[in-house]
């Protein structure tokens, strides 16, 4: 057999082998056809489904907010003054930019404001709820005084195009941080001569819970005045990562009530603000969520 004949025969054999491999390759490797694989639970790509590990296993687990400086829509929080001095009033400045780096200037009015700024130390002390002013260049500015040193978390809570958003970043305050343990759960908190009692029932992860607050002063019931469009305002933060929970006020005959869905088991710090006799007061509770 000539060399030319042998080369033609060898080439034909290679062509047959390539065709067989192409036909059977998909069975050997599903990705050879560009298809996504599914894991045992049926999730495409074989990866853990989106969300937090601690939320897995709870049907209807709530979405958490305030864990990142950016969101899926391309909005990003830029803090212009991330380092502050303790014990003195300073200007806290930040802006929200879109995916092109252009400052956002259009916001919805939510709870009577276009921006709610929450500042709290990492150990959930030093809570402040501020309402910054928007400058023409898209920068938000608020005066703030932080008495203690340490690492703080700031939350820019706002609504845009009808969608609630919470972006967060860290602040650093000079001085040693005397971190404190979270107080044990208690149904009663006081501020001055006001006593606030919390009834949260049996709060479970992923299930709506009604947080019912009854306020008295010297033993007499208190009828709160409207504050931010409701009988009170509530901020809930998860211990550890400081996940931010959106809560919604409910119509209630006596006291102040909110609906919240806790995304996971653990401890949460609840900061209730209410207005009476023209002054806003703040009380805090530790809420244990089991499940």
Q: Which of 164, 178, 177, 186 minimizes the C-alpha distance to 245?
A: 164
Least confident segment among 65-74, 125-134, 187-196: 65-74
What mean pLDDT comes out for the span 240-256? 85
Residue 239 pLDDT exceeds 60? yes
Tell me the Ramachandran region of residue 32: left when phi exceeds 0, alpha when psi lies from -120 to 50, beta otherwise.
Answer: alpha
Segment 149-166 shows an average pLDDT of 95
Q: What is the DSSP string of 180-239?
A: -PPPPP-SEEEETTEEEEEE--S--TTSEEEEEEEEEETTEE--PBPBTTBS-EEEEEET
Q: What is the mean predicted confidence (pLDDT) over 23-27?
A: 35
Q: Stretch 8-33: mean pLDDT, rounded?
A: 36
- The proportion of the chain whose per-residue pLDDT surpasses 90, expressed as a percent, equals 71
What gap in Å lies between CA 247 and CA 209, rounded to an integer? Answer: 10
Report pLDDT for 32.
29
List pLDDT tens digits, range 59-83. Answer: 444 678 899 999 988 999 999 999 9
CA distance 41 to 44: 9
pLDDT for the residue numbered 160: 93
Q: Residue 47 pLDDT > 90, yes or no?
A: no
Query: Tens digits of per-residue pLDDT, 269-282?
Result: 999 999 999 999 99
Where does the pLDDT of residue 255 fall: very low under 50, low under 70, confident under 90, or very high at 90 and above? confident
Phi, psi of 106 (to 5 degrees): -105, 120
> Which domains does the chain carry?
1-49 (no CATH), 76-173 (2.60.40.10), 188-289 (2.60.40.10)
Q: What pLDDT is attached to residue 252?
A: 65
pLDDT digits (tens, 9 = 90+) for 84-110: 999 999 999 999 999 999 999 999 999
Is the pTM higher than 0.85? Answer: no
Alpha carbon distance 213, 197 (integer Å): 6
Label the pairing between strands 163-173 and 83-84. Answer: parallel
Q: Rounded to 10 degrees, what is the CA torsion of 52, 160, 283, 141?
A: 110
Percentage of residues in the chain with pLDDT exceeding 70?
Answer: 78
Residue 25, pLDDT > 50, answer no
């Amino acid at each position: 057999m000539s060399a030319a004949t042998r080369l033609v025969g060898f080439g034909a054999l290679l062509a047959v082998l390539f065709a067989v491999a192409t036909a059977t390759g998909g069975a050997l490797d599903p990705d050879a056809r560009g298809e996504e694989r599914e894991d045992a639970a049926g999730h495409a790509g074989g990866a853990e489904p989106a969300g937090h590990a601690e939320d897995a296993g709870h049907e209807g687990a709530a979405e958490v907010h305030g864990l990142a400086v950016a969101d899926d829509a391309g909005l990003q929080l830029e803090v212009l003054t991330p380092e502050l001095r303790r014990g003195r009033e300073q200007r806290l400045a930040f802006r929200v930019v879109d995916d092109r780096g252009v400052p956002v200037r259009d916001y919805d009015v939510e709870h009577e404001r276009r921006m709610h700024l929450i500042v709290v130390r990492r150990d959930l002390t030093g809570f402040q709820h501020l309402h910054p002013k928007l400058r023409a260049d898209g920068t938000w500015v608020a005066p703030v005084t932080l008495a203690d040193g340490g690492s703080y978390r700031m939350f820019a809570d706002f609504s845009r195009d009808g969608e609630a958003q919470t972006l967060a970043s860290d602040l650093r305050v000079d001085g040693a941080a005397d971190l404190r343990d979270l107080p044990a759960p208690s149904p009663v908190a006081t501020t001055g001569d006001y006593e606030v009692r919390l009834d949260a029932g049996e709060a479970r992860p992923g299930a709506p819970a009604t947080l019912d607050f009854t306020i008295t002063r010297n033993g007499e019931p208190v009828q709160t005045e409207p504050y931010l469009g409701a009988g009170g305002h509530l901020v809930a933060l998860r211990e550890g990562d400081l996940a931010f929970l959106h809560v919604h006020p409910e119509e209630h005959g006596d006291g102040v009530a909110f609906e919240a869905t806790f995304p996971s088991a653990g401890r949460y710090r609840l900061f209730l603000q209410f207005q009476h006799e023209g002054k806003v007061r703040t009380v805090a509770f530790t809420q244990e969520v089991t499940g």
